[in-house]
Amino acid sequence: MSLGIRWACVSLLAVASLASATPEPSAPLPAPQYRQLARPDGSRIDYYLLQRNPRLPAQSLLVILQGSDCNSVSRIPSIRKLLLAMPEADVLTVEKYGIDATLPYDQDSERADCPAPYLLNDSPSQRVTDLQAVIEHLRQRRAYPRIVALGGSEGAVIAHALAARSPAIDATVAFNGGGRWFLDDLLHSVDRAGGDPAQQHQARQGLLAFVEQMRRQSAADVQASGHGSRWWQEVLELDQQALLQASRVPALIIQASADEAVSVNAVTDLIEQLRRNGRSNLTFRAYPGLDHRLSDRDGQSQMAAVVQDIALWLRQLPTVADEHG
């Protein structure tokens, strides 16, 4: 039962659609620098820093966050299209625990060669901890007055979690990240599968039994849909409303209205509740007629237009000079 597909596929497919929908940057980009940083447990975080001009410090850092897939972020070539959201910024991407650039690219969410350390250790909290460590390390060497986190699917949730925990983040951009609870999106996927009422009831009960099992399961060798028990336990308890409630930085939340990979109603409910709670730092943009790939009803990708909207929203935020008087 492939239940982890929501975050994995939305991010990969949306980013992949950029390849045909978005023009290449006009000037050649320097190659990202591969670097490592030690974790407290003795393992190492692999990360990549693209510096627009190594001799001239950039004023901004764009942190691009991949989805939940078991792939090296360095092997998703179309991720570079998102650089157009902040053309002057340096760009940071960070590998997940146990993954490095030697892992071949594979869209299969249950690939057989997914590294054992990844299955054992990957989780939202591990990703945020690693990101915080790398960002703090970079800030000690390059000031980066402004840092923006951008992600889709699980990457969207990680962006919100990072902003809630780290004072270094100045703005977030998230697309197709789902509603308050991951379980709502899982149930939505079951309901979309169709069938008669008895079949739907049986499918929902099977899903709920699986969820309860994963919540109780702590065995290191247990995995489902390409994720270990630690990942499942965290995503099932993760409250996206609480993350957004805790964050005070400007946040652009994008949701494709024809997205069938998440419960769009749950996303709308989340935004409405946050507004009732007085969260004025949120900007919500719905894109009617677009699916989870940000393609229209004719199958044409509209990702280029979405990236342009992201860039415009970021340009309208107060500048570093404005913020410092």
The arithmetic mean of pLDDT across residues 155-170, rounded, is 97
Does residue 236 or residue 319 have the better pLDDT?
236
In a domain, 196, yes or no: no
Does residue 71 or residue 222 have the better pLDDT?
71
Q: Nearest 5°: CA angle at 6, between 4 and 10? A: 130
Q: Is the pLDDT confidence value at 40 over 90? A: yes
The arithmetic mean of pLDDT across residues 292-311, rounded, is 90
Domain of 115 in residue numbering reads as 5-181+239-319
Residue 165: pLDDT band with limits 50, 70, 90: very high
In a domain, 188, yes or no: no
| pLDDT at residue 221, as a whole number | 67
The predicted-structure confidence for 262-279, as pLDDT tens digits, reads as follows 899 999 999 999 999 999
Contact 10, 262 (CB under 8 A): yes
Could you write out the DSSP letters of every residue in 235-262?
Answer: HHH--HHHHHHH--S-EEEEEETT-SSS
The predicted-structure confidence for 290-299, as pLDDT tens digits, reads as follows 987 788 999 9
203-229: b or e for each residue (b if 16 or more CB lie within 10 Å)?
Answer: beeebeeebeebeeeeeeeebbbbbbb
In a domain, 217, yes or no: no
In a domain, 134, yes or no: yes
CATH code of residue 267 = 3.40.50.1820
| pLDDT at residue 213, as a whole number | 86
Does residue 90 or residue 10 have the better pLDDT?
90
The arithmetic mean of pLDDT across residues 32-55, rounded, is 95
Mean residue pLDDT of the chain comes to 87
Q: What percent of the chain has pLDDT over 70?
A: 87
DSSP 3-state assignment of 309? helix
Could you write out the DSSP letters of every residue in 190-225?
Answer: HHHT---HHHHHHHHHHHHHHHHHHHH---TT-EET
| pLDDT at residue 109, as a whole number | 80
| pLDDT at residue 17, as a whole number | 35
| pLDDT at residue 10, as a whole number | 36
* Token representation of residue 59: 């004023």
| pLDDT at residue 261, as a whole number | 84
- Overall domain count for the chain: 1
Q: Is the pLDDT confidence value at 147 over 90? A: yes
Q: Is the pLDDT confidence value at 178 over 90? A: yes
In a domain, 310, yes or no: yes
CA atoms in the 13 A half-sphere facing the CB of 88: 10
Number of H helices, E strands in the chain: 12, 10
- Give the position of tokens 């596929």: 9
In a domain, 210, yes or no: no
The overall pTM is greater than 0.85:
yes
| pLDDT at residue 27, as a whole number | 56
CB burial of residue 305 (10 Å; 0-12, 13-18, 19+) = middle
The predicted-structure confidence for 44-79, as pLDDT tens digits, reads as follows 999 999 998 888 889 999 999 999 999 999 998 668
In a domain, 195, yes or no: no
Q: Is the pLDDT confidence value at 2 over 60? A: no
- Of 52-61, 114-123, 171-180, 186-195, where does mean pLDDT reach its minimum? 186-195
Which stretches within 58-140 are classed as H helix? 116-121, 124-139
- Of 14-28, 43-57, 105-119, 238-252, where does mean pLDDT reach its minimum? 14-28
| pLDDT at residue 319, as a whole number | 74
| pLDDT at residue 24, as a whole number | 45
In a domain, 218, yes or no: no
